Structure 1
Amino acid sequence: MNPINDPMAWQGRLPWPGAEAHKHARGRLGVVSGGASSTGAARLAARAGLRIGAGLVKVFCPPDAAPVLAPTLEAVMLASFATAEQLATLAQPMDAVVIGPAAGLTEATGANVAALARTGAALVVDADALTLFRDRPGDLFACLDRDDVLTPHEGEFERLFPGLLSEGREKAAVEAAEQGGCIVVLKGAATVIATPDGRCVVNGNGSPWLATAGSGDVLAGMIGGLLAQHMDSFDAACAAVWMHSDAGRRFGPGLISEDLPDLIPTVLASLYRG
């Protein structure tokens, strides 16, 4: 029986700012957007990353999406790119990058993942950036290291790791983390977080109100925001999953994903020991 995701295990390592903190010291998060008609997921992830404490958050988008995104972003910054090489240059200063939410099931997304892997930023790989590699998971795994985080729901997990779920969610997540060489967050009512060295916890505070479109994009941004602040990847995944669920529980009926980022300060305040 694997341990339950308990805040006592990571609460003391949450990255609170000190008296001399400035925005760059608090970490820089990048979020890759899809095209002009697919920008909402990136906005959700970016706002969540900012709310959870990243000092600077920037959305990277294709040129056609910039006029859509620019009027909707305030504290979140914006930059456009036309090629994977341009994305890598823009992302070079970032501490962490989220890629996948509404990114598009195109070869451009695959090239963007590979380019980001060369920057040294910790990656959160979600949604389209997982499904794209369904027939060639090894190409994705070759881009990853132990600081990176995959965040599949069961359908995406099955596409990357066919047959593993027949062994049970916990064993499957551990084996997937070993195969991928990275942290795996297998989402669900009892989300499982696993590492390549065999550590595994099960989240025990899941909320049914999180079963709504965009919820996973918010979680990806939360994990990315903690990674940008140099929190250990396993601790960051555990903390973000727990806080995401706690936010859903606090709001309750009627929750939509746009509500979640603005609940993060209340959740953080409940964990603050300052």
Structure 2
Amino acid sequence: MNPINSPAIWRSLLPRPDAETHKHMRGRLGVVSGNALSTGAARLAARAGLRIGAGLVKIFCPADAAKVLAPTVEAVMLSSFVTADQLAALAQPMDAVVIGPAAGLTEATAANVAALGRTGAALVIDADALTLFRDRPGDLFACLDRDDVLTPHEGEFERLFPGLLAKGRGAAAGEAAERAGCHVVLKGSATVIAAPDGRCVVNANGSPWLATAGSGDVLAGMIGGLLAQHMDSFDAACAAVWMHADAARRFGPGLIAEDLPGLVPAVLADLYRG
């Protein structure tokens, strides 16, 4: 039976700024947006990354989305790109990048994933950037390294790892992490976090209020924000999953994804107090 995810595992490893810390020391997170009609998911992920402590967050967007995003972001920065090579150049200074939320099920997204895989940034791969590779998972795995994190729900997991769920969620996530050569967060009421080295925990504080559109985008941003601060990928995923659920528990009925980033500071403050 897999261990339960608990702050005891990772609380002492949470990044904490001190008096000499500046924003670049706190890490740089990139988030790739979809087109002009699909920018909300990136905004949710970016805000979550800021709230969990990344010092600088920048959204990278297709040119048609720039005029939509520019009036809606404040502390989050913005750059536009046309080609995958341009995206890679923009992402080169980033410590971590989130790609997938509302990115689009297009070959352009596949090219963007491959280009980001060459940057050295820790990647969080979610949503469209998972489904896109349903018939060619090897192409996705070839872009990844051990620091990267896949964040599928069960439907997305089945598309990448057909039949594996029949072994049970824990065993399936563990084998998937080994196959993909990276970390896997198998989302659900009892989210499983698995590392390619065999570590695996089950999250036990899941909240039904997270069953709302956009909550997964926030989780991707939270994981990315911790990765940007150079937290170990397994610890970052474990911490973000637990904090995500705790934030939802604190809010309760009526929660929408937009509420979640604003709840993160109180969760962090309690963890810091220990």
TM-score of the superposed pair, with normalisation by structure 1: 0.99
Q: Give the unaligned 5+ runs of structure 1.
A: none
SS at match of 1:79: strand
Deviation, 1:92, is: 0.3
The yes-or-no answer on 1:132 pairing with 2:132 is yes
Inter-partner Cα distance in structure 1 for 2:14 and 2:177: 23
Give the match for residue 153 of structure 2.
153
Deviations 1:203-251 (A, max 9, x none): 0000000000000000000000000000000000000000000000000
The yes-or-no answer on 1:69 pairing with 2:69 is yes
Inter-partner Cα distance in structure 2 for 1:259 and 1:41: 13
Deviations 1:129-182 (A, max 9, x none): 000000000000000011000000000000000000000000000000000000
Deviations 1:75-107 (A, max 9, x none): 000000000000000000000000000000000
Give the match for residue 59 of structure 1.
59
Give the match for residue 31 of structure 1.
31
Q: Give the unaligned 5+ runs of structure 2.
A: none
The yes-or-no answer on 1:90 pairing with 2:90 is yes
The yes-or-no answer on 1:187 pairing with 2:187 is yes
Give the match for residue 112 of structure 1.
112
SS at match of 1:104: coil
SS at match of 2:254: coil
SS at match of 1:130: helix
Give the match for residue 143 of structure 1.
143
SS at match of 2:49: helix
Inter-partner Cα distance in structure 2 for 1:261 and 1:72: 16
Inter-partner Cα distance in structure 2 for 1:64 and 1:78: 13
Deviation, 1:273, is: 3.6
The count of residues paired between Structure 1 and Structure 2 equals: 274
Inter-partner Cα distance in structure 2 for 1:183 and 1:114: 17
Inter-partner Cα distance in structure 2 for 1:18 and 1:229: 13
Deviations 1:28-56 (A, max 9, x none): 00000000000000000000000000000
Inter-partner Cα distance in structure 2 for 1:190 and 1:238: 12
SS at match of 1:60: strand
Give the match for residue 2 of structure 1.
2
Give the match for residue 234 of structure 1.
234
Give the match for residue 48 of structure 2.
48
Percent of aligned pairs sharing the same letter: 85
The runs of at least 4 aligned residues of structure 1 exceeding 4 Å deviation read none
Inter-partner Cα distance in structure 2 for 1:101 and 1:158: 18
Inter-partner Cα distance in structure 1 for 2:145 and 2:205: 29
Inter-partner Cα distance in structure 2 for 1:85 and 1:104: 18
TM-score of the superposed pair, with normalisation by structure 2: 0.99
Give the match for residue 122 of structure 1.
122
